[in-house]
């Protein structure tokens, strides 16, 4: 009975955490889901109280203007936050018929870090360890060295001896 309770509580907690949250901006009726997207994130815009079947949402934070569609006064559309944005608040203007509604889209820092960069800002020292010098030499020019050739021949000789002894034992038994 105890494990059922733990399972049920875990399920409820997971559902609460994974449910997307919306952000009502400036009381203008514009909802943005998720509440604080990072640059490059897909977002859903929702506006209520619009008597038209379509509306257009525009923002400098979005890659393009969004056509919102729906019925019964609730219009929905999707877009993507520009990947080059810095964290901050950006205005969203929804034109519905002859009226405009405004809201705010709050862009979060990428990956939750305040100083994260979308791409490296300096050369990356990739290392290479002891193989870096070997990679600089073309193996076709040098071929195997004397030590490698002797080691290969010795291994071939040992393998030939093992095979010969195995045949002799099979023939004598």
CATH architecture of 19-111: Sandwich (2.60)
Q: What is the pLDDT of residues 60-100, one digit of tens each?
A: 999 999 999 988 888 999 999 999 888 899 999 999 888 88
Q: What is the pLDDT of residues 91-130, one digit of tens each?
A: 999 998 888 888 889 998 776 445 555 566 666 666 666 6
Residue 56: alpha-carbon gap to chain centroid: 29
Instruction: Kindly report the three-state secondary structure assignment for every residue of the chain.
Output: CHHHHHHHHHHHHHHHHHCCCCEEECCCCEEEECCCCCCCCEEEEEEECCCCCEEEEECCCECCCEEEEEECCEEEEEEEECCCCCCEEEEEEEEECCEEEEEEEEECCHHHCCCCCCCCCCCCCCCCCCHHHHHHCCHHHHCCCHHHHHHHHHHHHHHHHHHHHHHHHHHHC
pTM flag (> 0.85): no
Contact 48, 39 (CB under 8 A): no
Q: How far apart are CA 45 and CA 61, in angstroms?
A: 13
């Amino acid at each position: 009975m105890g494990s059922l309770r733990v399972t049920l509580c875990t399920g409820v907690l997971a559902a609460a955490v994974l449910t997307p949250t919306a952000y009502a901006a400036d009381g203008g009726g514009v909802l943005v889901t998720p509440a604080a997207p990072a640059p490059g994130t897909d977002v859903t815009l929702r506006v209520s109280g619009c008597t038209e079947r379509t509306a257009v949402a525009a923002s400098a934070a979005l890659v393009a203007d969004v056509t919102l569609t729906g019925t019964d006064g609730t219009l929905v559309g999707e877009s993507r936050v520009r990947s080059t944005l810095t964290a901050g608040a950006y205005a969203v203007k929804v034109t519905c018929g002859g009226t405009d509604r405004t809201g705010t889209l709050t862009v979060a820092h990428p990956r939750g870090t305040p100083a994260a960069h979308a791409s490296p800002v300096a050369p990356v020292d990739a290392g290479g360890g002891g193989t870096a010098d070997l990679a600089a030499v073309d193996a076709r020019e040098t071929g195997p060295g004397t030590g490698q050739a002797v080691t290969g021949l010795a291994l071939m000789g040992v393998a030939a001896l093992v095979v010969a002894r195995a045949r002799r034992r099979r023939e004598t038994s």
